[in-house]
Amino acid sequence: MGLYLIGDVQGCDAALQRLLEKIGFSPSRDHLFLLGDLVNRGPDSAAVLRRAMGFGNAATILLGNHDLSLLAIAHGQRPPHRNDTLDQVLLAPDREAMLEWLRCQRMALHAHGLLMVHGGVLPQWDVAQTLALAREVETVLRGRDLVDFLAQMYGNQPDRWDDGLVGADRLRVIVNALTRLRFCTPGGVMDLRASGRPDQPPPGMLPWFDVPGRRTADATIAFGHWSTLGHLRRPDIIAMDTGCVWGGCLSALRLDPQGGARELIQVECEQSQVPGE
């Protein structure tokens, strides 16, 4: 059985197909963990969604900020961005099936010794709290209040966690941390605008994974979202967004179920976009 982490696909279905061929993926034998941002900016988001849906139980999907954006646009709660490439999904005859499937995917996961998210984890959260908060968002995404949630999902405030947060503010902080976080202060105040290199943080900020004393320091967190970070492996983090849609690579990391060496497999991507979120 092969276990694979795959970073941000962002609509690059041809690259995903070549990567799956390179690793010899078999849905009857192997399992994929896709770390969010399946869609947008690339040429064929609909094909990526259909492919992922076809994997069935052979794939576990995390939601990224672009995936949530697709849901918000589709439900009339956010206007499309000028750089969005989502029309293939929005105008597809199987649009509703794709959107219904997407809203049922995960916000965070703990499996095979890894905590998996798309963006980041606030320093105040341990693994158990991260998973519990992710489930709060998953419940709303799958429920009758989806449209109301999407209408209130966007915004950069509150910019920090407080256990007393309730309602839309609480869910917004959870979503922002799990899907958009790159930099924060040592106290966990988020900067959700900066997207540059981790060695060029905004004043007073650190990459979220370098905050001293964060409560997930003893865990290994796998994530995507940060193309200018690229692939980075440390005992406590595995970064998997290698900028496929920006002309970089699409990456898979083969996990050893027995805890042995991990192998990185990459394919080049033909896409060339202006870097952005």
CB 188 within 8 A of CB 161: yes
Express each pLDDT in 243-261 by its tens digit: 999 999 999 999 987 777 7
Express each pLDDT in 187-200 by its tens digit: 999 999 998 899 99
pLDDT band at 271 (very low <50, low <70, confident <90, very high): low
Q: In whole angstroms, give the CA distance from residue 34 to residue 111.
A: 13
pTM of this prediction? 0.95
How many other CB atoms sit within 10 Å of the CB of residue 203? 6
Instruction: Find all residues with CB under 8 Å of 137, minimum gap 6, and list them.
Output: 107, 171, 174, 175, 178
Express each pLDDT in 6-58 by its tens digit: 999 999 999 999 999 999 999 999 999 999 999 999 999 999 999 999 999 99
Share of the chain above pLDDT 70, in %: 97
Q: 2 to each of 25, 29, 30, 58, 147, how far by Cα in Å? A: 8, 7, 5, 10, 38
| Strand 237-239 versus strand 220-223 pairing type | parallel
pLDDT band at 274 (very low <50, low <70, confident <90, very high): very low
How many other CB atoms sit within 10 Å of the CB of residue 158? 15
pLDDT over 50 (residue 277): no
Q: Extract the tokens encoding 257.
A: 């179920």
Q: 18 to each of 23, 200, 218, 244, 266, how far by Cα in Å? A: 9, 33, 35, 12, 9
Q: In whole angstroms, give the CA distance from residue 32 to residue 53.
A: 12
The pLDDT of residue 110: 98
CA nearest neighbour of 226 among 241, 211, 237: 241
Instruction: Find all residues with CB under 8 Å of 190, minimum gap 6, and list them.
Output: 122, 156, 159, 160, 176, 177, 180, 181, 183, 184
